Amino acid sequence: MITIALSKGRIFEETLPLLAAAGVVPSEDPESSRKLIIGTNRDDVRLIIVRATDVPTYVQYGAADLGIAGKDVLLEHGGAGLYQPLDLEIAKCKLMVAVREGYDYEGAVKQGARLRVATKYTHSAQEHFAAKGVHVDLIKLYGSMELAPLVGLADAIVDLVSTGGTLKANKLVAVEHIRDISSRLVVNQAALKLKHDRIQPMLDAFAATVAANA
Ligand code: ATP
Ligand code: MG
């Protein structure tokens, strides 16, 4: 059996064509089904539906052979035990620093102010501000980061931005681009050796589809 860990929502939607190219069609839609283990047209392939941040953990421990996770999530996880052979070029967005409209971010940085930064991405944020030599107090949040500057919890946030619509709706502006984000295929290193004859053709099919879409 090959087990693939996926999260619901945009990653699942954008993964469907890649799975199809590898000859895998889910037998149920996880958005409407409450099942967490979803069969496919192939009796040797199943999908497990987990939180986006939990995908690397399932693959690291071998509970899933493969998974698809955002680079944002992989940077926080650290990637131990994971082979990351392929950028799938899906779920693209940017990791950015954002502040309230009118907040003088550059001025605060120049003055050497200590910034309070709210984020789910503490590892990436830590690295970014350390590299710039900016002192920060990181405040860990698990969602709705946009709220933090509006109610005085933080001076800035580090969050994912795609269209910028959510920032705009909350009167925030992006002031720094940290890195581009997309989703990656992750593979359990032991599974790749033990099930190479079944996993490698899937990796090849994914890679061919990514190349064809480029
Ligand atoms: P949960 O909603 O369960 O807390 P989550 O917010 O991490 O988890 P999603 O919002 O579906 O789940 O995000 C999953 C992944 O999709 C992220 O890890 C990121 O790589 C990518 N992603 C997040 N936001 C965007 C976006 N606005 N545009 C494109 N990709 C995004
Ligand atoms: Mg979400």
Express each pLDDT in 158-194 by its tens digit. 999 999 999 999 999 999 999 999 999 999 999 999 9
Atom of ligand 1 nearest to the CA of 163: 27
Burial 47-62 (b: 16+ CB within 10 A, else e): bbbbebbbbbbbbbee
- The interface predicted TM-score (ipTM) is 0.94
* CB distance 11 to ligand 1 below 6 Å: yes
Beta-bridge partners for 69: 184
pLDDT bin (cut points 50, 70, 90) of residue 19 is: very high
pTM for this predicted structure: 0.96
Average pLDDT on 41-68 reads 98
Express each pLDDT in 101-135 by its tens digit. 999 999 999 999 999 999 999 999 999 999 999 99
What would the two tokens of residue 185 be?
Answer: 């295929």
* CB distance 91 to ligand 1 below 6 Å: yes
